[in-house]
Amino acid sequence: MYPLTRLRRTRMHKWSRNVVKENVISSSDLILPIFIKEGINKKEEISSMPDVYKYSIDNLEKIVTQAIKNKIPAIALFPEIENDKKDEIGSEALNENNLVCQAVREIKKKFKNEVGIICDVALDPYTSHGHDGVIKNEVVDNDETVKILIEQSLIQANSGCDILAPSDMMDGRIGEIRKSLEKNNFPNTILLSYAAKFASNFYGPFRNAISTSTKLKTDKKNYQMDFHNSDESLKEVLLDISEGADMVMVKPGLAYLDIISKVKEKYNIPVIAYNVSGEYSMIKNAIKNKIMGDDAIYETMVSFKRAGASAIVTYFANEIVEKFIDI
């Protein structure tokens, strides 16, 4: 009790604060998402996400090298597919020479296992309606979609992708994908399930970046989780672990720290937080407009660690290492 106990004692100096520091961020906590587009020698700024670019495949070398130099362990690739390649069923997802597969092969050729490659498993970049699966009777049809996702997974694994990240929220897809990976001789492909993915307003800038926002006429609430719920996210995680997921994602991140913390506490598995595009743009714009210092980026990352995240997917990854971490 006071005055015997004074919690301010250890706060008095930087060195003493360092002694009692409970959580830190290091390079290995960060995963960098990278947007790719068709064409040659393209680097195009994304209007909804200041300082984030889309790169053509021949221009990826610099950003990937930067991530490796910054000791970032993995990158996540997101393709922007041209309109004339989109259709109702997302056929281009099953083209083994599509943009994302070509990018994976190029990066693997140049960088071998210096960096892990994560690919989304979902149809939204490829469908003319912007949904993550095929539509039947006005909703995304679960079982028909899963059949396609199995194929998409095999194609991406075959192109060299290290981590498949199903972000579609269909029921049962982790088990089906895992079985087919085992059967087709991909026993070591990691499955990072977007297990607790909420139907969120915070994906806006991302949808603008890969041009799905103008296509989407309805929301994704019949497959992504209802943000009023938390128990349900634990069920999602339990199912995905039992179906063979190696890690799970909670997405978005900032408004869902409670979910990260519960999942970590209950299941003790690697939980990855996705600091999504809307969170990025809010913070980035506040810093650019000088109404907030850039330490806010670091503070945000620490909050994910405090909640129990093993790693954070963030568009800030390179900036964090370069500004805040001694490598």
| Residues forming the site for ligand PBG (CB under 6 A) | 120, 122, 124, 132, 167, 203, 206-207, 220, 276-277
Q: Is 67 helix (H, G, I), strand (E, B) or coil?
A: helix
Q: Using CA atoms, how far apart are residues 28 and 53, in angstroms rounded to an integer?
A: 23
- Alpha helical stretches, state H, 211-271: 231-242, 257-267
Closest CB 18 distance from ligand PBG, rounded Å? 33
CB of 181 to ligand PBG, least distance (A): 20
> Any catalytic annotation for residue 42?
no
* Active-site hit among 54, 220, 251, 264: 251
The tally of CA atoms less than 13 A away on the side-chain side of residue 55 is 17
Other Cβ atoms less than 10 A from the Cβ of 24: the count is: 11
Nearer to ligand PBG, 133 or 308 (CB): 133
H/E stretch holding 232: helix 231-242
Question: Please, what is the minimum distance in Å from the beta carbon of residue 13 to ligand PBG?
Answer: 39
215 is catalytic: no
Q: Which is nearer to ligand PBG, 184 or 216 (CB)?
A: 216
Nearest residue (CB) to ligand PBG, 122 versus 259: 122
Q: How far apart are CA 100 and CA 51, in angstroms?
A: 22
Which of 184/287 has CB closer to ligand PBG? 287
DSSP 127: B
Measured distance CA(100)–CA(146) in Å, rounded? 19
Task: Please return the burial class of 201, using the count of CB atoms within 10 Å of its CB with bins 0-12, 13-18 and 19+.
Answer: exposed
In angstroms, give the least distance from the CB of 220 to ligand PBG.
6
Q: How far apart are CA 96 and CA 116, in angstroms?
A: 20
Which residues form the catalytic set? 197, 251
